[in-house]
RNA sequence: GACCCCUUCGUCUAGUGGUCAGGACGCUGGCCUCUCACGUCGGUAACGGGGGUUCGAAUCCCCCAGGGGUCGCCA
């Protein structure tokens, strides 16, 4: 079987991660079977046009690696791939339906429709087109058209009976035809509704698997009726459950973290986001959790898609992102971290590579970086109490001695020799010389250099990062703080 | 409200009549350690409820409850 899948977004101006996941699945299925992945723009709602929205679709798909084989910019045998450019095709197909008795012209205006719905609601019935124009004679119809009366074309749902369709994730579903509405197929502006365009285009473009959100599940019987009316083969339907914010609400753009770009801006890696999305509502059937896009394409299978909505867990995404960050080489990590480091560090005379090194194993997302670095440019005010660390048994006195010894040892290192290895040798040598535990020396040094309880990296790294002058002056500051504290005792 | 769909640890999930119900995140205890993290070893926690079918049900059937979706000249 030739697999042809499509991603058919409407240009809304941002890429919702739920949509992106649907695109991912469509892409993976195509790649898995050596098939074709198609991009189609569904811009039939002229009122919702957003400038630049199509570019966001392009750039996001490129960034994520979901490269399409046919599309508006690439062309292909089934173009055009923009629905607003396919207008004549829909008209032609709508007429075919009308000729076959599967659709009809409707001249009802908004006022009548509103009134009708209001009445039906008042009577406690479900709003549904009342079939007013269903039986309009052909001559009457021509007369109204000639008179310039606006019209739409509606689908004629068969009276009575049932329609059954099969979904690859939900199985067989049967509904009573009477619960289905005579929906508009062709709007008065001549453009098709989604209900019509998706059927015509999916068939004309040879789509084998229609992968889309679950919100279309309940309209699928109508689409089936359309395929049948045309005498077309019915594609395989794959409806994906929604991505939720919590048990009640869908993840929405209003929450500010539903768009792909939001995650990238916060310092999540593309690879981590895509990996996480793949596993949200789909399982490979094994315990494996880390996949590249290419690896996903190998193992992807429709049967792994789950039936129930999945809650998006930012905490787990962050963990996965950390995994990806940690797997980077030091050079790669430095390149990605540098812009975030510079948000917090304005000084230029610091050891950036050491900052990155010290951050590497401590960063889940890049936006976590700046707050960790707030002590580098300027030493915060801190209390001498911080020198006392119970577990390491440091005291004011021991800390004062350590700081003085450290000052003496480091003072002998020239500016040019101020590197990590030298500092390490000097401070560890001090530990050995004094015959004490590492912490007796290193705890107070780290506190004096950072003024903080927790820091990325230890005293040696921080000394290297902030440089000789700053190190010596901060040690000085620590010494006087401690002397003051001891005097007060 | 009507119609359709869904329901395993807090979360993502594995599981398709016989498992101590597995993994991951989180939380938590130990180890490592100059702090925090990383790493590592352990712990915690689930089959929505009720009826059946069966020697035996998370797995099959029915009912209920809860949740979701749809009911537009939006997609």
SS3 letters across chain A? CCCEEEECCCCCCCCEHHHHHHHHHHHHHHHHCCCEEEECECCCCHHHCCCCHHHHHHHHHHHHCCCCCEECCCECCCCCCEHHHCHHHHHHHHHHHHHCCCEEEECCCHHHHHHHHHHHHHCCCCCCCCCCCCCCCHHHHHHHHHCCCCCEEEECCCCCCEEEEEECCCEEEEEEHHHCCCCEEECCCCCECHHHHHHHHHHHCCCCEEEEEHHHHHHHHHHHHHHHHHCCCCCEEEEECCEECCCCCECCHHHCCCEHHHHHHCCCCHHHHHHHHHHCCECCCCCCCCCCHHHHHHHCCHHHECCCCEECCHHHHHHHHHHHHHHCCHHHHHHHHHHHHHHHCCCCCCCHHHHHHHHHCCCCCHHHHHHHCCCCCCCCCCCHHHHCCCCCCCCHHHHHHHHHHHHHHHHCCCHHHCCHHHHHHHHHHHHHHHCCCHHHHHHHHHHHHHCCCCCCCCHHHHHHHHCHHHHHHHHHHHHHHHHHHHHHC
Could you tell me which of A196, A213, A216, A212 has the C-alpha nearest to residue A204?
A: A196
Strand B contacted by A169 CB (< 7 A): no
- Whole-angstrom distance, CA of residue A403 vs CA of residue A482: 10
Whole-number percent of chain A with pLDDT over 70: 99
Catalytic positions of A, written as ranges? 253
Query: Nucleotides of chain B within 7 Å of a protein C-beta?
Result: 1-8, 10-15, 22-26, 33-39, 67-75
| Across A230-241, average pLDDT | 97
- The Cα–Cα gap between A211 and A207 comes to 10
State pLDDT tens for residues A138-177: 999 999 999 999 999 999 999 999 999 999 999 999 999 9
| Rounded distance in angstroms from the CA atom of residue A304 to the C1' atom of nucleotide B45 | 25
Per-residue model confidence as pLDDT tens digits over A412-444: 999 999 999 999 999 999 999 999 999 999 999
Residue A437 CB closer than 7 angstroms to strand B?
Answer: yes
Reduced 3-state DSSP string for A206-272: CCCEEEEEHHHHHHHHHHHHHHHHHCCCCCEEEEECCEECCCCCECCHHHCCCEHHHHHHCCCCHHH
C1'-nearest nucleotide to the CA of A242: B68
pLDDT of residue A247 exceeding 90: no
**Nearest nucleotide, CA A46 to C1':** B74
Q: What is the mean pLDDT of residues A57-66?
A: 97
Q: Residue range A337-341: average pLDDT?
A: 97
Round and report the angstrom distance from CA (A308) to C1' (B7): 8
- Mean pLDDT estimate for chain A: 95
In Å, what is the separation between the CA of A307 and the C1' of B66? 16
Q: How confident is the model at residue A257 (pLDDT cuts 50, 70, 90)?
A: confident
Q: Is the CB of A203 under 7 A from strand B?
A: no
- Checking if the pLDDT of A256 tops 70, the result is no
The A 41-70 residues near strand B by Cβ under 7 Å are 42, 44-45, 47-48
* Structure confidence at residue A255 as a pLDDT band (50, 70, 90): low
- Report the distance from CA of residue A220 to the C1' of nucleotide B55 in Å, as an integer: 44
What is the interface pTM, i.e. ipTM, of the complex? Answer: 0.96
Is the confidence at residue A241, as pLDDT, over 90? Answer: yes
Q: Is the pLDDT of residue A253 over 80?
A: no
């Amino acid at each position: 079987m030739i697999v042809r899948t499509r991603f058919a977004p409407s240009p809304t101006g941002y890429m919702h991660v739920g949509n992106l996941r649907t695109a991912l699945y469509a892409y993976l299925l195509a790649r898995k079977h050596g098939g074709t992945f198609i991009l189609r723009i569904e811009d039939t709602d002229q009122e919702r046009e957003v400038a630049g929205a199509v570019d966001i679709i392009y750039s996001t798909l490129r960034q994520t690696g979901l490269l399409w084989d046919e599309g508006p910019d690439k062309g292909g045998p089934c173009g055009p791939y923009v629905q607003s450019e396919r207008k004549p095709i829909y008209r032609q197909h709508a007429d075919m339906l009308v000729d076959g008795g599967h659709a009809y012209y409707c001249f009802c205006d908004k006022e009548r429709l509103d009134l009708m719905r209001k009445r039906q609601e008042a009577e406690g019935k479900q709003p549904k087109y009342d079939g007013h124009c269903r039986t309009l004679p052909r001559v009457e119809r021509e007369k109204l058209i000639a008179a310039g009366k606006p019209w739409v074309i509606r689908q004629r749902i068969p009276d009575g009976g049932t329609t059954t369709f099969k979904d690859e994730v939900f199985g067989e579903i049967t509904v009573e035809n009477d619960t289905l509405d005579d929906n508009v197929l062709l709007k008065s502006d001549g453009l098709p509704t989604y209900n019509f365009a998706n059927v015509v285009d999916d068939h004309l473009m040879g789509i084998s698997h229609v992968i889309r959100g679950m919100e279309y599940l309940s309209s699928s019987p109508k689409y089936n009726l359309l395929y049948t009316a045309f005498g077309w083969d019915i594609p395989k339907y794959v409806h994906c459950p929604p991505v939720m914010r919590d048990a009640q609400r869908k993840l929405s753009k209003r929450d500010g973290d539903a768009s792909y770009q939001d995650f990238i801006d916060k310092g999540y890696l593309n690879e981590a986001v895509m990996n996480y999305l793949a596993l949200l509502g789909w399982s490979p059937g094994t315990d494996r959790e880390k996949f590249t896009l290419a690896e996903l394409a190998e193992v992807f299978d429709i049967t792994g898609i789950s039936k129930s909505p999945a809650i998006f867990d930012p905490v787990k995404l962050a963990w996965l992102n950390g995994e990806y960050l940690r797997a980077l080489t030091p050079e790669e990590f430095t390149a990605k971290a540098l812009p975030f480091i510079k948000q917090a560090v304005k000084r230029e005379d610091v050891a950036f590579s050491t900052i990155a090194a010290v951050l590497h194993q401590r960063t889940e997302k890049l936006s976590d970086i700046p707050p960790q670095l707030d002590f580098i440019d300027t030493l915060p005010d801190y209390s001498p109490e911080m020198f006392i660390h119970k577990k390491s048994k440091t005291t004011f006195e021991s800390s004062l001695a350590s700081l003085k010894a450290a000052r003496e040892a480091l003072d002998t290192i020239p500016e040019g020799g101020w590197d990590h290895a030298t500092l390490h040798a000097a401070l560890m040598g001090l530990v050995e010389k004094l015959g004490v535990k590492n912490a007796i020396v290193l705890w107070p040094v780290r506190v004096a250099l950072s003024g903080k309880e927790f820091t990325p990296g230890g005293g040696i790294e921080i000394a290297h990062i902030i440089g000789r002058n700053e190190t010596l002056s901060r040690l000085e500051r620590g010494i006087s703080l401690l002397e003051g504290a001891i005097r007060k005792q």
